[in-house]
């Protein structure tokens, strides 16, 4: 089956059950539906197997699945919180909306905030986890920052902003972006960058101080703490 974006199928990387590792619903038992393809190319991407054809054989990594068959798979699992992630899920908005119309789940979508959400998804999705990418991601500004899209999420009460912060430069850029869109700080999670527990702890202590004084929420990356960079957990 040729891998392409069509309205009645989804290009899927993996489906697995775990607990949500980031953001406001951290710890919630969830099924993760990881979709293929991305419109960005972050230098530190930990899911490059969903989009990077130069490093991965996407014909082996990705599968085109019919909506009804995929819905049956999701219904057979016990979690009733569904996290649609990627890659960039909103590249497949139309097929996601078709799938979600068949499911009773509470739904979260993870996005980098560069593609506008459709009205159908805005009406259906319970929680948006919006992670704008900063200069340190290596993406050019005109690709990683879409102010029209961010403005829409900033005024949507079910959209939560999550930013991964490594250093003062990241923090300054994140503050400027969030202030530009007047994103309420109680809807903003700052998370330490890191792939080891030691890095997360050290940067987490620094960010805890920032959050205490500036009103952001401190997030962690629970899956990194528990499983490092293992896939499908
Ligand atoms: S937006 Fe997400 S999936 Fe896409 S390259 Fe960046 S980190 Fe990877």
In a domain, 219, yes or no: no
Instruction: Note whether residue 92 is domain-resident.
Output: yes
User: For residue range 115-133, what is the model confidence (pLDDT) as tens digits?
Assistant: 999 999 999 999 999 999 9
Cα–Cα dist 233/218, whole Å: 22
Q: Which domain holds residue 110?
A: 9-164
Which residue has a Cα nearest atom 6 of ligand 1? 42
Asked if residue 157 has pLDDT above 80, the reply is yes
Residue 220 lies in a domain: no
- Residue 77, judged by CB atoms within 10 A of its CB (0-12, 13-18, 19+), counts as middle
Q: Are strands 217-218 and 188-192 parallel, antiparallel or unpaired?
A: parallel
pLDDT on residue 223? 79
pLDDT of residue 1: 58
**Total structural domains in the chain?**
1
Q: Is the CB of 61 under 6 A from ligand 1?
A: no
DSSP string of 111-132?
E-S-SPPPHHHHHH-SEEEE--
Average pLDDT, the chain: 95
Distance in angstroms (rounded) separating the CA atoms of residues 108 and 46: 20
Answer whether residue 49 shows pLDDT above 90.
Answer: yes
Residue 26 has pLDDT above 70, yes or no: yes
Closest residue by CA, ligand 1 atom 8: 45
Verify whether ligand 1 is closer than 6 Å to residue 64 (CB atom). Answer: no
Residue 51 sits in a domain of what CATH number? 3.20.20.70
Q: Which atom of ligand 1 is nearest to the CA of 48?
A: 8
Is residue 171, in this structure, part of any structural domain at all? no
Q: What is the pLDDT of residue 149?
A: 98
Task: Specify the residue with its C-alpha closest to ligand 1, atom 3.
Answer: 87
Q: Which residues are within 8 A (CB) of 191 and not within 5 positions of it... i.e. 6 or more apart? A: 22, 162, 163, 164, 165, 207, 218, 219, 220, 221
- Tell me if 51 is assigned to some domain: yes
Q: 87 alpha carbon to ligand 1 midpoint, in Å?
A: 6
Q: What is the mean pLDDT of residues 203-227?
A: 91
Please check whether residue 1 lies inside any domain of the structure: no
Q: Cα of 50 to ligand 1 centre, how many Å?
A: 9
Show the DSSP H helices in the chain as ranges: 58-61, 67-75, 93-100, 119-124, 141-144, 147-154, 168-180, 197-214, 222-227
Mean of pLDDT values over 212-221: 94
Does residue 223 lie in a domain region? Answer: no
How much is the pLDDT for 37? 98
Q: What is the pLDDT of residue 226?
A: 81
88-107: per-residue pLDDT in tens?
Answer: 999 999 999 999 999 999 99
Decide if pLDDT at 224 tops 90.
Answer: no
- Alpha carbon of 41 to ligand 1 centroid (Å): 6
Question: What is the pLDDT at residue 221?
Answer: 80
DSSP state of 50: G
Secondary structure (DSSP) of 26-40: TT-EEEEEEEP--S-
Q: How confident is the model at residue 233 (pLDDT cuts 50, 70, 90)?
A: low
Give the closest residue (by CA) to ligand 1 atom 2. Answer: 87
Judge whether 218 and 189 are in contact, CB under 8 Å.
yes
Report which of residues 193 and 146 the model is more confident about: 146
Q: Is residue 133 part of a domain?
A: yes
- Taken in order 200, 183, 50, 226, the sign of the CA dihedral is positive
Q: Is 40 in the pocket of ligand 1 (CB under 6 A)?
A: yes
């Amino acid at each position: 089956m040729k891998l392409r974006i069509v309205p009645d199928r989804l290009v899927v990387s993996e489906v697995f059950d775990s607990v949500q590792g980031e953001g406001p619903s951290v710890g919630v038992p969830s099924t993760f539906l990881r979709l293929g393809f991305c419109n960005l190319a972050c230098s530190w991407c930990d899911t490059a197997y969903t989009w990077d054809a130069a490093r991965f054989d996407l014909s082996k990594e990705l599968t085109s699945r019919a909506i009804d068959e995929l819905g049956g798979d999701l219904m057979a699992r016990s979690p009733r919180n569904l996290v649609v992630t990627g890659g960039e899920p909103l590249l497949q908005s139309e097929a996601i909306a078709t799938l979600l119309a068949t499911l009773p789940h509470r739904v979260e979508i993870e996005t980098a905030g560069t593609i506008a959400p459709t009205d159908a998804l805005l009406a259906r999705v319970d929680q948006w986890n919006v992670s704008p990418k900063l200069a340190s991601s290596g993406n050019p500004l005109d690709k990683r920052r879409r102010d029209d899209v961010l403005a829409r999420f900033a005024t949507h009460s079910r959209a939560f902003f999550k930013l991964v912060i490594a250093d003062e430069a990241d923090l300054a850029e994140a503050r400027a972006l969030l202030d530009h869109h007047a994103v309420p700080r109680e809807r903003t999670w700052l998370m330490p960058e890191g792939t080891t527990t030691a890095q997360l702890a050290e940067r987490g202590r620094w960010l805890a101080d920032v959050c205490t004084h500036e009103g952001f929420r401190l997030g962690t990356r629970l899956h990194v703490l528990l499983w490092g960079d293992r896939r499908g957990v």
